[in-house]
Amino acid sequence: MLTPVTLKTFKYFWDQGWSKELLLNLFVQRVKLPNGKTVKWSLRNKANEDFEKALEVFESDSCDLETRQKTHEIAPPMTVEQLSQQDLVEIQKAGLTLARSKENNNQIYYQLKSKEEEYFLNCGDDKVYQVTDVAQMKSDEVRPDDNNLYILHLRSPEGILVSAW
């Protein structure tokens, strides 16, 4: 199976000033809208009208794709005695952080955390939509704000080349 490009890659080209219409047509294979409807990209003009209409919100000049950092706690808090030098090296290699979390009975505890980027389409006037791709979603994940969630099914690099033909 071919691996789709990431939202990070999509955002890179977005931030470079590439045409939003071009990026959406190249990178996005289909999109699940906040109302639950899924719209697919198509070579046929009539079928593609639904796709283009569904993504008009992305093409608005007032909208910008933003990232926000979110941290997750991993494992229970640990003491210094529970951590070896090798553990610290592995934590760094994995892109995780270790932060001082609490003090209890004169014992200092540290919390292992991971960082994750979330993507939002900010259109001003309190119109903010969360954007994710299938690769970032976990099947059992429940999102509290699904009424503002666009799920993009991004193409693989090979799929982008084929769609451009």
Per-residue model confidence as pLDDT tens digits over 52-75: 887 888 888 788 889 988 888 988
- Sequence spans of domains, the chain: 7-63+123-163, 71-116
Residue showing tokens 């219409």: 21
Q: How confident is the model at residue 140 (pLDDT cuts 50, 70, 90)?
A: very low
Instruction: Name the average pLDDT for the chain.
Output: 81
Question: Do residues 5 and 136 lie in contact, with contact meaning Cβ atoms separated by under 8 Å?
Answer: no
Mean pLDDT of 13-17: 92
Q: How confident is the model at residue 51 (pLDDT cuts 50, 70, 90)?
A: confident
Kindly state the percentage of the chain with pLDDT values over 70. Answer: 85
Burial environment of residue 26 by CB neighbours within 10 A (0 to 12, 13 to 18, 19 or more): buried
Question: Do residues 152 and 8 lie in contact, with contact meaning Cβ atoms separated by under 8 Å?
Answer: no
- Overall pTM > 0.85: no
Q: Is the pLDDT of residue 139 over 60?
A: no
Q: How confident is the model at residue 47 (pLDDT cuts 50, 70, 90)?
A: low
